[in-house]
Structure 1
């Protein structure tokens, strides 16, 4: 076998800790479900009618991943940096065109997540019909807790809560997802060959809002775990 050499060192594999294991979970891709709670869709001015719509998705580079407990810099070129607390689904088996009935076979486990967003840039892009990348694919903007193995388990309910500096911001339940876990896996697998290490951020409830340097975030999903993040000064 020929040894490949590079002009500079390639980036390290992104990974997450797994509860009860010494091995870390290597990350493949980061998928995000947009507007998957009715109350959040309404607060964003884009109500969802499930009877005539299907889920939509965006992606972020794996390089945006940071672990719970980190301090991240307030990002450049924004004056409206928002938090979005979510349940993260971890794929543990390959699947393509998976039925809802078989969706559980792809589940490795779950984690808590924060989809950090330059909201002002996202809304400008949305209203102009442009891609969301500058608003969403932000450095250090995909925050994830340790992964909790729950192979084959489909979560259908559980409280999701988040505070900023101890003050409640987001509070809902997984039973309020517009498209549930089985529906998300089945639909996304029509577009992609899902692979172990793919993470799916399943959507955020209402209560998203701005952050400032010095803010401290704490969040939790019942039965899954907790997540924390601190916002540092702008660079």
Structure 2
């Protein structure tokens, strides 16, 4: 049997569409984990990236932090957190947030540094406060690149959130983990297909957000 046969069999089984182990329930759990991790990572990465990029300081330190964050193995960090903190949502969130912060932080910093200094200098010359320069002049121009960092982080989170299943939590990873344990390759193939579809849907959402949030002039200039 090929992979497509396993996938068709998985989605064609009515038992996979209802109950606590049904596709809708697992999908909602996966999305909740992903949104929570992305929100926490954005709360950390965006302010630091915006401020450091605005003032042009701390670039080397940010690069070092981002490199260290990317070098950490997510699964190894998850196991360590479970040993230290026990089972629950917090040990899952930590590796997901650690994974997502570096692309948000570095991309936001680089986006702010890439803004043309001419309008920034003009705004300061007109007496605009630094906060207004940041949010009204720099941020609209930097927004496309900032969104690309958020998109990259979101895709990594969606793909990596399957590790939640290893600590008895839900999400689409349950199909992969349980399927491997039960030698049920329909579940494995179906779970992997769902994660891939969710990643593609995430890309589509960020494309739509960019179309709505980024001004047409900035899009044309980009």
Is TM more than 0.5 here? no
Q: What TM-score, normalized to structure 1?
A: 0.23
- Structure whose residues are more often helix by fraction: 2
Computing the radius of gyration over CA atoms, which structure comes out larger, 1 or 2? 2
Higher RCO structure (Cα 8 Å, ≥6 apart): 1
Q: What TM-score, normalized to structure 2?
A: 0.24
- Structure whose residues are more often strand by fraction: 1
